[in-house]
Structure 1
């Protein structure tokens, strides 16, 4: 049977939170579950019709392999997986902090290695997926683009350092946004609103505000200005956020801390080469 997104079998090595989110998004986009094999030590099922094994299949050569386990597991996975790969296999890694050179050192056969950094909204087809390729033909990049676009917005980077930084922004960013939603809800609760109601309102407000920002031709700064009437309630709150660039400095420090850890993880992977 033909598949709109896959040229052949897809192997998913590991299927944690992010892998599961990607699988959910692909199945919703029309990938046939029979074309997907998940390899995980537990053998626990993941989705109806998707084959789950505890070892690599011997009855097929994968068209695409997605490395979706924890980064520290790379050296345990590589020795058994590498011999099963073909030069035509596209190897896709979502392992945070693991550089293309570290992947190439462990997987010599595939002509194309793609690094991808998705975020959890891929499960809804609303994700952001940053992409960087090491080697391979344009056709392989096009295939990877189509596969990732089924999950949301795919963005290519020609520089691995820029890819790494973008991954910090969009990969870790949802967690920072979720924390801000929590802070809004708890802040309103501290002032007297029931906490469950405050969190519900904060979540709905962020969903609507994000949709407006994505659809508007105005910048985020201009949208904030339009919400804030002179001497009004919004302006009073913005003055607190803007004082001494408090919010901007806090966000920059947050992203810098995440990037520093990403660089450390890359160094750890290089040291194991």
Structure 2
């Protein structure tokens, strides 16, 4: 059995990302191994045509995978990662395990192991994610380029040079979808309070956030300018923004929330 890619863990996020990789044609199912102990998840992965195994011991002794991806919960890293140290001569290691620093993988795999750490967010499951990577000095340019191309099938990709910035990344894009979901909840509740039917308020809130984000992403115009374009002097939007922007109210609240998430990320990484 040969494999260019080994995916360790195939829960909802891992499965969704794998689907995107296979559809892109960047990897072939016949050259992909999924290691997943849960039978139902393993069977689901097998339906994509990959080689789905229950444990790493089932990987052929002579296998030389080029990329091993850890898509598992952080609390099992210590138990699982050492099983893949035998592939350090051929493989680059990519982790999407939240909050686990590169140093933890180097300790388990060896100082010479090429390791890339990635912080995705949940929209990656529908190809609309934000993936941010940081790599150690052992990762080759070719490997880094391939990983970037692979992750791009799941959304936008950015990189940072300083791993300490991953706490800020976690606070902005990793946790960020929850902030947006809560804003939708709040806008829906405000619509209901203003007299709209519940389903109507929900539709208006969701589609407004979706449409505004799509416009911001595709127009090439800065968000601040888009805001000014839709704000007529002394109009309804201006009245609402006086509340949100007065004394930098929303700006300060979001900054406080992001900093709280960043500090918690630092605590969890210790």
1:147 aligns with 2:145: no
Alignment length, in residue pairs?
A: 260
Structure 1 residue 177 corresponds to structure 2 residue 172: no
Gaps of 5+ in 1: 1-6, 268-273
Q: Of 115, 122, 125, which residue of structure 1 is paired with 2:124?
A: 122
Question: Which of 9, 25, 35 is 1:14 aligned to?
Answer: 9
- Matched with 1:193 is 196
Unmatched segments (≥5 aa) in structure 2: none
1:149 Cα deviation (Å)?
1.8
Counterpart for residue 55 of structure 1: 55
Kindly state the Cα deviation for residue 115 of structure 1 after the two structures are TM-superposed: 0.6
Paired residue for 1:46?
44
The Cα offsets for residues 43-63 of structure 1, whole Å up to 9 and x where unpaired, read as: 222342233322013223322
Find the aligned partners of 2:74 and 2:130 in 1 and give their Cα distance: 20
Give the Cα–Cα distance (whole angstroms) in 2 for the partners of residues 201 and 24 of structure 1.
Answer: 31
Pairing 1:89–2:87 present: no
Q: Distance in 2 between matches of 1:106 and 1:211?
A: 42
SS of 2:59's partner is coil
TM-score normalised to the size of structure 2?
A: 0.88
**Equivalence for 1:131:** 133
Provide the alpha-carbon RMSD of the alignment.
2.0
Q: 1:195 to 1:50 in 2, by over 3 A?
A: farther
Q: TM-score, normalised by structure 1?
A: 0.88
Cα distance in structure 2, aligned partners of 1:12 and 1:41 = 12
Q: Deviations over 1:129-166 (max 9, x none)?
A: 11111122211111111111222221121111123312
State the distance in 2 between where 1:138 and 1:225 align.
42
- Tell me how far 1:234 sits from its aligned partner: 0.9
SS at match of 2:39: coil
CA contact (8 A) 1:87 1:109 kept: no
Bigger shift: residues 197-206 or 104-113: 104-113
2:205 matched residue in structure 1: 202
Shift of 1:173: 0.9
